[in-house]
Amino acid sequence: MGSELVIGSMEASEVLKPSQSYTARMVEAINGMLLDMYPAVAGKDYEYRRRC
């Protein structure tokens, strides 16, 4: 007998393969880091431009 995976009401497009979910998590983490860095870089740029 073969085993079956019952997904229920989920669409096929909602099911991510392991490599896709890893990539999605990685992109989300990098995006979060970039959003955290943006204010710091903008602040340094502002200070630099005020001095010049």
* 17-33 pLDDT per residue, tens: 666 788 889 999 999 99
pLDDT for position 46: 95
Secondary structure string (H, E, C) spanning 1-52 = CCCCCCCCCCCHHHCCCHHHHHHHHHHHHHHHHHHHHHHHHHHHHHHHHHHC
Phi, psi of 32 (to 5 degrees): -60, -40
Give the distance between the most distant pair of CA atoms in the chain: 75
Look up the pTM and report it: 0.51
The pLDDT of residue 13 is 54
Q: What is the pLDDT of residue 37?
A: 94
Question: Residue 52 — pLDDT band, cuts 50, 70, 90?
Answer: confident
